Chain A
């Protein structure tokens, strides 16, 4: 008898669901009456259940599968397109040479190093800041007006066009604070660009931590900071690291804020300190793709392949680290 009730609850979607649930109420009432009647109705209920459940089960599954196929297909088209266009231009020069006007000699060395420095620094700034903000808002701010406003501001920040971050960083950091058009300014701009992503993930995953865990810790005499750092933080780290992978990819592909802050393409030396001028891969690619010569357009495709490979490598490293940390937390 309970079986019928449970099923109704599970498949309770759309109009079909509500019809079944009214039937389920009938079933419950019938339970008090004769058993023959009850069995017959139960039988009917099961038939109804399987028909609707089958449709929703397979319908949903097909829909999900189509969704996966569409995104996989689009991604494949893009990848194949880029690879076919650029594969002929792939060469070690692309990694080891500086910018050049000769297609065969041109490389992205300064841009690759610039990208790596900038993005690494940006993540190093955004990650502790984002986690701390998220923890505070959820564990200490606890739904008061101010923290709700901060939360709303953060989600709005995620929708601000990235070039605005570049403009603000340029006027405030480069000129007011006199940091110049340097790597540090670029990374701070990128850090704030990805900050909402990390903070919102932190807040959401902190909410997922069962309150029983916190209460158990309190019951054992833990202080609040101990609960936050020893109970909550370890549980959210894997999710937050996932968001940092997304943040990394986002920061790596940004051209607009860096175009405003640095604007440089032609740099023929490696960036050494965080106060050096720099350029990044998307800028270099953007410059190549907008040239009249077909060869440079092919070169930009090769540049995109290099960018993707570097991104892939970084993501693999990040995922490996996350899984290690996750295992340690579970143990």
Chain B
């Protein structure tokens, strides 16, 4: 009889587990699954797939490492490239921009996916190891300011960089919404943002707070942007910054704010048009850094870079980032074909992308 009770109890535990699990999942599901189910992959494959396989004479291997932010773009390109040139082995890692640069600057990798430009320290390391490089912007990433879906406090749903600086600067005195504006409710303002190991944190602090890596510390940090989405969307009095791609995929759960450069300035909503035109103040370019000498000497690597630039637009759109202008990609391809670029010069490609703004 005792054994029966035990068995019954365990079965009951399993049953409760099933119920809780189902409720938990379906609960999340109603939030997310009704979302525009754009299984980003199912959309039309990128153009190059249709190109009849040209003489697959190229062989060799291309080693890529670096930022996990840039990874999805490079993944699309690498996949299509290996379909076209099956004899070229491409591997892509996600050691992070800094971790990737450590390998790149000793010549271990051919390409580094970077969510920021190369730093002085990394330049020095590359120089020491006789590694010369080329820096090419490949896409833009917008940074969105988000609040809870039902938060209508900001007039016109617009926040200024100035206000953001007040909120996010180190030792900020804004603890409650009413500290920002006495008309707002006296509710605690809970902040969500990128963790200090992420490139997003570097960018946000530099462009909003005004000093790289200076930020208040009493906020909820996470390196996982989906966690931030979850946090902001369930917290009525929250405010956070997350990469635009994540915010766009959760638009039914949170509100993306417009941003103005100055107080009472023009409010701009983050979308590809405003980001490409440079009107939206919070966007950063994503780069690939290529080993200069290897690109000169190895045909498959040069071909890969050209392939990258000619397919960047569709690949970037597919993974949810914002492509640079068509003219930029064309100009960049021409520069490479004509060999008009110098090693260790970060102005060549960046300047033609800035011209396009």
Contact = CB atoms under 8 A, between A and B. Distances in A.
A116 interface: no
B37 A80 contact: no
A53 interface: no
B22 A84 contact: yes
A266 B319 contact: no
A264 B17 contact: no
Contacts of A204: none
Given A101-B75, A292-B245, A263 B93 contact: yes
A102 B45 contact: yes
B13 A266 contact: no
B44 to A, nearest CB: 10
B197 interface: no
Contacts of A76: 13-14, 16-18, 21
A101 B25 contact: no
Contact of A294 (B17, B35, B45, B79): B35
B224 A290 contact: yes
A295 interface: yes
A236 B29 CA distance: 49
Contacts of A323: none
Given A68-B10, A69-B10, A294-B37, A103 B42 contact: yes
A263 B65 contact: yes
A105 interface: yes
B41 A80 contact: no
Interface string B320-333: 10000000000000
- Which applies to chain A's interface (DSSP): helix, strand, loop or mixed? helix
Contacts of B248: 292
A80 B249 contact: no
A99 interface: yes
A79 interface: yes
Nearest to B106: A175
Contact of A290 (B26, B32, B68): B68
Interface in A235-287: 259-260, 262-269, 277, 287
Contacts of A287: 68, 71, 94
Contacts of A269: 89
Contacts of B94: 259, 263-265, 287
B2 A77 contact: no
Nearest to A295: B39
Of listed B71, B79, B82, B245, residue having the most chain A CB within 10 A? B79
B9 A65 contact: yes
Nearest to B18: A80
A77 B14 CA distance: 8
A291 B250 CA distance: 12
Contacts of A297: 226
Contacts, number: 156
Contacts of A69: 9-10, 12-13
Interface residues of B, number: 60
A73 B42 contact: no
Contacts of A70: 13
Interface in B305-329: 315, 318-320
B249 A101 contact: no
A120 to B, nearest CB: 22
B20 interface: yes
Chain A CB within 10 A, most for which of B41, B64, B226: B41
Contacts of B1: none
Contact of B17 (A61, A65, A75, A262): A75
A230 to B, nearest CB: 40
B38 interface: yes
Interface in B70-88: 71-72, 74-76, 78-79, 82
A65 B18 contact: no
Contact of B79 (A65, A100, A262, A295): A100
Given A72-B17, A78-B21, A101-B318, A292 B75 contact: no
Contacts of B41: 100-106, 293, 295-296
**Most-contacted residue by chain B among A262, A264, A269 (CB, 10 A):** A264
Residue of B42, B91, B226 ringed by the most chain A CB atoms within 10 A: B91
A64 to B, nearest CB: 9
A101 B9 contact: no
B48 to A, nearest CB: 13
A296 B65 CA distance: 21
Contact of A104 (B26, B39, B89): B39
A74 interface: yes
Given A260-B95, A296-B40, 14 more contacts: A68-B6, A73-B13, A76-B14, A77-B17, A77-B24, A78-B21, A85-B25, A102-B45, A105-B41, A268-B82, A268-B90, A292-B320, A293-B249, A294-B35
22 contacts: A61-B2, A69-B10, A72-B14, A73-B14, A73-B16, A80-B21, A81-B25, A84-B22, A84-B29, A100-B75, A104-B41, A105-B41, A264-B93, A266-B92, A266-B93, A267-B91, A268-B78, A292-B225, A292-B248, A294-B39, A294-B249, A296-B41
Nearest 7 A/B pairs, CB to CB: A76-B17, A80-B21, A295-B39, A266-B92, A103-B41, A102-B41, A69-B13
